[in-house]
Amino acid sequence: MRRRGLRTGRRERLPKVGEVFAAGDIDFRVFTTLVFRTDLVVDAEVLAVVDAALAANVTRWPSMTPGRLTAQVDKIVAGADADAVRRRRERQRDRQICFGPICEALVSLVHPADASPEPGYVPSKALADFVRCRNVTCRWPGCDRPAFGCDIDHTIPHSQGGPTHASNLKCYCRTDRGL
């Protein structure tokens, strides 16, 4: 979150919460959570109600986990402006996740559960994309290298009759593949 956004949040959007923060009664993490979770309240009168409710209650929420703090803030926001909660849910649904270094377009992945094995050693692009998205990281225990930087390898070697099928493919980084 940019500093300018936090200053605006403290001065203009949530002045009462800003006073509580300036007094040292809440820490920076709590303050940023309050500013972030109230950013979809657009009506100034509703925002003033939310600001007052948060300022009155936030000092009673010491050492909350981030998830519980978020739930408490969302409860106050929902009580004052149910539309803000709806707008947040819509924004969450509209998020797109891209795997790999370049995201040009989203492609639907098809689960190859009932597909027959592919001929040859090298999997098709569709099968390789599915395996990389399924694995997320290198399959070696403790390795967290992203799957898109890994090679796709057969569990049962292709030379020993192992099929080129999702059930027999996994991602290994070059470091772990040579072990």
Q: What pLDDT is stored for residue 1 in this prediction?
A: 40
The pLDDT tens digits of the residues spanning 111-124 come to 676 678 899 999 99
DSSP class of residue 167 equals: G
**Length of the chain in terms of residues written:** 179
**Alpha helices by DSSP H, the chain:** 3-8, 15-22, 28-37, 44-57, 66-80, 82-93, 125-135, 174-177
Residues of the chain under the 50 pLDDT cut: 1-5
Q: What pLDDT is stored for residue 122 in this prediction?
A: 93
Q: Which residues of 64-73 are buried (b: 16+ CB within 10 A; e: fewer)?
A: eeeeebeebb
**What domains are defined for the chain?**
3-93 (no CATH), 97-179 (1.10.30)
Q: What pLDDT is stored for residue 2 in this prediction?
A: 42
Q: What pLDDT is stored for residue 74 in this prediction?
A: 86
The pLDDT tens digits of the residues spanning 92-104 come to 555 555 555 555 5
Q: What pLDDT is stored for residue 3 in this prediction?
A: 44
